[in-house]
Structure 1
């Protein structure tokens, strides 16, 4: 019975923690639900199971498959879906990716694990700037509006405001909310125009409240 880990296993663990830390720091910096410790532990856990599977009798790919299944449950826990949007998909994808990095470290593909960690951080940081740049030109948002009363003319006036700003819109729902008219729109425009429209809505007396769900 050997109580001491093999040297190559210690290297795998070290690489796993380092790779998980690279990705985890980026997630912690952006204040995501799966932050530094969570990402490191997911990466290390995948490495641990991969290492353990290599010492099992008749070891095969079932351990790796079960790791992916288990990671799927964790990823599903960070996804939030309401009636009009889904949030947390990027975080779930990061968890899935980090598990793959941990498995690569566990089987001794250190170069692959390090490369994937660096590429993941680049995608999360640099590509985020690309998305922000695209939003300046093309932006889709879900707008929730609650009017002061049930007067349908107020809805028509809001539509005229949207047309004035050349904002494309589609009405999703219309309902009664505490004796007030409530409407949901999907808007398509650029960021600058949307900000101008928001500033104007602040001064519209017939609007009780409004908010967005991206």
Structure 2
């Protein structure tokens, strides 16, 4: 019985890694994310190569044990050792796609997709085709379809800069009350200048389903004392 993988089997696994990683990377690149087609292809392919190497290491150990039974007590073939390094190593690569600036965080989904693609590559490299195909379908559904059917009305932070504290703050709170916008939390800051002050309030708000953040920003921007409005992702 031949224990080693055939050339056809190795080629099939590598092609699967390139195709599946490429499809996922295309979706990320289409959305102009930090890691796109080539990155996902290489991560998936690299994980597959390492998994294939681990399979061959284990196969060689079995081959030696079959040919030289006296070596069995000293042979070691831990099939999880190299794979464990993939899981931790790819985490650093994914972290490089996360951008934190001005209280906003971007790239978390791309980081997660890179980490998941590595797992996909491991499944392909180890020859678990059913796991690989089902995982691939799950990844594609998570990145493309889920948002169309499941929408979470997430809390967001709205940063509002303004002058004339009392009247402007009253205007903002009245607007929130009239439109049934719930304020979950409030942070504030004051900048002092020689003859005036600029106030910055950061509201964590929960909008009713009928409203959008762009609509709220447009309405508030019409007030003369408000100098800046922006959404801060959380």
TM-score (norm 1): 0.86
Q: 1:156 aligns with which of 147, 170, 181?
A: 170
* d(CA) in 2 for partners of 1:118, 1:36: 17
Matched, 1:51 2:49: no
What is the match of residue 205 of structure 2?
Answer: 187
Alignment partner, residue 207 of structure 1: 226
Deviating beyond 6 angstroms after TM superposition, the runs of 4 or more aligned structure 1 residues are none
CA, structure 1 residues 213+175, in 2 after alignment: closer, same or farther (shift >3 Å)?
A: same
- Partners of 2:142 and 2:185 in 1: CA distance: 34
- CA offsets, 1:102-128, max 9 Å, x none? 011111123322231122111211102
Q: Note the residue ranges of structure 2 that are not aligned, 5 or more in a row.
A: 1-5, 62-75
> How many aligned residue pairs are there?
205
How far apart are residue 199 of structure 1 and its match?
2.4
Query: Does structure 1 residue 14 correspond to structure 2 residue 32?
Result: no
- Quote the residue 1:25 is aligned against: 26
Largest Rg, 1 or 2: 2
- Alpha carbons 1:15, 1:110 under 8 Å: kept: no
Mapping of residues 64-143 of structure 1, within 5 Å: 64-81=83-100, 84-131=103-150, 134-135=151-152, 138-143=153-158
Q: In 2, are the aligned partners of 1:84 and 1:142 still within 8 Å (CA)?
A: no
When the two chains are superposed, the root-mean-square deviation of aligned CA atoms in Å is 2.1
Q: Could you tell me how far 1:38 is from its partner in structure 2?
A: 0.7
Q: Any stretches of 5+ residues in structure 1 without a counterpart?
A: none
Structure 2 counterpart SS, 1:34: coil
